[in-house]
Amino acid sequence: MNPAVRIALAAEAAPKGCTNLKLRQAGRLVTRHYEARVRHHGLKITQYSLLSHVVKLGPVGAGELAAAMKLDASTLTRNLQPLLEQGWVRVQAGADARQRIVEATPAGQALRAEAQRDWKRAQQALNRRLGAEKVAALHALLDECIALLEREDGEVDDE
């Protein structure tokens, strides 16, 4: 069945089960898929993602990095710790005492370049397994849901 038709039919049906549970289950399976490919670089996929953002955006303010990754400040600090300990990123003072600037070290940039090849293989394998059309539809749906959730962030709807 065409993914667009399947999505349209699903939209007409009432949701069954817990959305959070389904997202977490899918997330764990996808995480395992990617981690199997980047593990030998000494990285978890969350660390690869963070390192990639730092390389792409850096040097970058910690607040801007957290916002780009949809993380709160304490989670970013905790997730940066292993990368700092390995010498893959560094954190320096910014323009004022409150600002911190995150930057990839040369070793971090080299590691990201190596790991990116395996990440691309994982991405291509997942696209083949699920089908590029489904993955594109999934990305579009997730982007739309993220935008809706961000707009309503902080609101509690107890209907």
DSSP type of residue 57: H
pLDDT of residue 9: 67
Name the strands in the sheet holding 89-93, side by side, starting at the edge strand that comes first in the sequence. Answer: 60-61, 100-104, 89-93
Neighbours of 34 (CB within 10 A): 22
pLDDT of residue 158: 45
Q: Which of 43, 45, 66 is nearest to 54 (CA)?
A: 66
pLDDT of residue 136: 95
pLDDT of residue 117: 96
Task: Summarize pLDDT for 26-72 with one digit per residue, the tens.
Answer: 999 999 999 999 999 999 999 999 999 999 998 999 999 999 999 99
- Going from the first residue of the chain to its last (159 residues), give the mean pLDDT of each consecutive group of 10, the final group possibly shorter: 69 81 95 95 95 95 94 93 97 88 97 97 96 94 92 55
Cis previous bond, 59, omega within 30: yes
Domains of the chain: 32-145 (1.10.10.10)
